[in-house]
Amino acid sequence: MKFDSILLPGIDPKRPLVIAGPCSAETEEQVMNTAKQLAANGVKILRAGIWKPRTKPGGFEGVGSEGLAWLKKVKQETGMYVSTEVATQKHVYEALKFGIDLLWVGARTTANPFAVQEIAEALQGVDIPVLVKNPVNPDLELWIGALERLSNAGLTRLGAIHRGFSSYDKKIYRNLPQWHIPIELKRRIPDLPLLCDPSHIGGKRDLILPLSQQAMDLNYEGLIIETHCDPENAWSDASQQVTPDRLKEILDTLVIRDRKQSTEDLSDLRKQIDELDDQLLELLAKRMRVSCEIGTFKKEHNMTVVQTGRYDEILNTRIAQAEAMNMDADFIRTILEAIHEESVRQQVIILNQ
């Protein structure tokens, strides 16, 4: 995939790139009012959903094409760039007809390769920036696949939006961040601009600042934040929207750290980490060798691979020990489970030789 790191001309390359605006365009007045306040606060790119994908029927499904004329008016009156979500070919054609500057593909659409392919085909030969939200399910390949479909259609101004992943039990977040997934995306495609959508991850206004800070600390290029002139009375996602003034406060509070890859004083510490990782790998390999010997013993004595009692004891003692060493119980459990899974895999091979 080939990328153009400049999504839109004339935007300050300084981090964060900010896209802000209401979840949904509701009325001409609401769109204009929000946009004007945002423009006065220095925001250059407006977002507004025109077609809203709703989990259940009966919710507000967006104003449809009528709202595109309001976005066009925002462009004319404020000079802002305008953006919206597209989910079908018809959306693409309508948005292009009204001069929308940037499109994004929503999380539910990214999860559907047929829909993404349809959008890609409608955009064949069009030079427009397109941002792809992560699919609702935590599947990095599906996310990358959607980007590839658009890239294959000739689009080069591409970017990704991390909006979190659905989960059955919602505690703190509306959508679990699972930061390792966008981090892996960045490792795999370093040139792809990555934005965070703290509004849809958090689902609550109060989480926007800490999530945005975390995204900046993880080197994201930008933020897309739902902003409404009257958030409490928004027709969709009311609890996660902020006013344009609150958005400005949030942006002014963010600490933007240097992106430098390595600094002099870090190199010693990094060497220590390399060394320790080396030792960790050696130890793990040694543990696997012992576990293979156990596998051979089990084979000779016709025993099953998994001995539940023993596994329980390992988990309990190690987790207690790790907690005493200031490590999180869930963290250690994840590691032990991964080690156990690999041990079992290797023993099963031995048993079946």
- Nearer of residues 54 and 289 to ligand PEP, judged by Cβ: 54
- Nearer of residues 26 and 85 to ligand PEP, judged by Cβ: 85
CB of 226 to Mn ion, least distance (A): 6
CB of 161 to ligand PEP, least distance (A): 7
Class of residue 232 by CB neighbours under 10 A (exposed 0-12, middle 13-18, buried 19+): exposed
- Nearer of residues 102 and 144 to Mn ion, judged by Cβ: 102
Question: Whole-angstrom Cα distance, residue 10 to residue 5?
Answer: 13
Question: Whole-angstrom Cα distance, residue 333 to residue 319?
Answer: 7
Q: Which residue is nearest to ligand PEP (CB)?
A: 106
Phi, psi of 79 (to 5 degrees): 80, 5
**Could you tell me where the DSSP H helices lie in the chain?**
28-40, 66-78, 89-97, 107-110, 113-122, 140-152, 180-188, 198-202, 208-217, 244-253, 264-300, 308-324, 329-351
CB of 55 to Mn ion, least distance (A): 12
Question: Whole-angstrom Cα distance, residue 230 to residue 247?
Answer: 13
- Nearer of residues 196 and 332 to ligand PEP, judged by Cβ: 196
- Nearer of residues 192 and 201 to ligand PEP, judged by Cβ: 201
CB of 198 to ligand PEP, least distance (A): 11
Q: Which residue has the tokens 């220590």?
A: 272
The two three-digit tokens of residue 300, written as one number: 């000779």
Q: Provide the CA 287 distance to its chain's centre, in angstroms.
A: 36
Phi, psi of 40 (to 5 degrees): -65, -30
CB of 271 to Mn ion, least distance (A): 45
- Nearer of residues 81 and 235 to Mn ion, judged by Cβ: 235
- Nearer of residues 168 and 255 to ligand PEP, judged by Cβ: 168
Residue 49's beta-bridge partner residues? Answer: 24
CB of 131 to ligand PEP, least distance (A): 10
Q: Which residue has the tokens 């990095």?
A: 140
- Nearer of residues 202 and 295 to Mn ion, judged by Cβ: 202
CB of 237 to Mn ion, least distance (A): 4
CB of 100 to Mn ion, least distance (A): 17
| DSSP string across 121-175 | HHTTT----EEEEPPSSS-HHHHHHHHHHHHHTT---EEEEE--B--SS-SS-SS
Write out the residues near ligand PEP by the rule CB under 6 A: 23, 49, 53, 85, 106-107, 133, 163, 200
SS3 119: helix
- Nearer of residues 3 and 104 to ligand PEP, judged by Cβ: 104
CB of 311 to ligand PEP, least distance (A): 39
Do residues 201 and 164 touch, judged by C-beta distance below 8 A?
yes
Q: Provide the CA 147 distance to its chain's centre, in angstroms.
A: 14
Query: Residue 133 touches which of Mn ion, ligand PEP, none (CB < 5 to 8 A by kind)?
Result: ligand PEP
Write out the residues near Mn ion by the rule CB under 5 A: 23, 237
CA distances from 122 to 93, 153, 154, 183, 261 (A): 7, 9, 11, 30, 39
